[in-house]
Amino acid sequence: MKKRVFFNPKVKDKVTVLKTADETAFDHILVEVELAPGGGTPKHYHTSFNETFIPVEGTLGVDVGKKIFRLEKNQEAKGYSSSLRGSTPCL
């Protein structure tokens, strides 16, 4: 499989597309996002899909609605993740 990598110079993140919708029978897409320290996107929401965040290393801060989650790699190893419904504001 060919990896597709995109770099956003504004927020300094790197996104690697691991699986496309075509490759999963339109069930999901899978991306790996490498954030710069203190990086991230402005609060936003999606109307057509849900997101799940699973940290691979370091600490991942996720704001969901009015709640703030700080996810650690060790938490993911225990099965924790943050899932968002399509219209929930997040960053």
| Domain containing residue 20 | 1-37
Percent of the chain with pLDDT over 70: 77
Shared-domain flag, residues 31 and 72: no
Is 80 exceeded by the pLDDT of residue 86? no
- Range 1-19 average pLDDT: 85
Tell me the two tokens of residue 21. 């919708």
Is 21 in contact with 10 (CB distance < 8 Å)? Answer: no
Shared-domain flag, residues 80 and 51: yes
Shared-domain flag, residues 32 and 15: yes
pLDDT given at position 80: 45
Shared-domain flag, residues 51 and 83: yes
- Closest Cα partner for 90 from 56, 53, 57, 59? 53
pLDDT given at position 6: 93
Tell which wins on pLDDT, 58 or 6: 6
Shared-domain flag, residues 49 and 32: no
Shared-domain flag, residues 47 and 73: yes
Shared-domain flag, residues 52 and 89: yes
> How confident is the model over 29-57, as pLDDT tens digits?
888 889 888 788 777 777 777 777 788 88
Per-residue confidence band for 1, with pLDDT thresholds at 50, 70 and 90: low
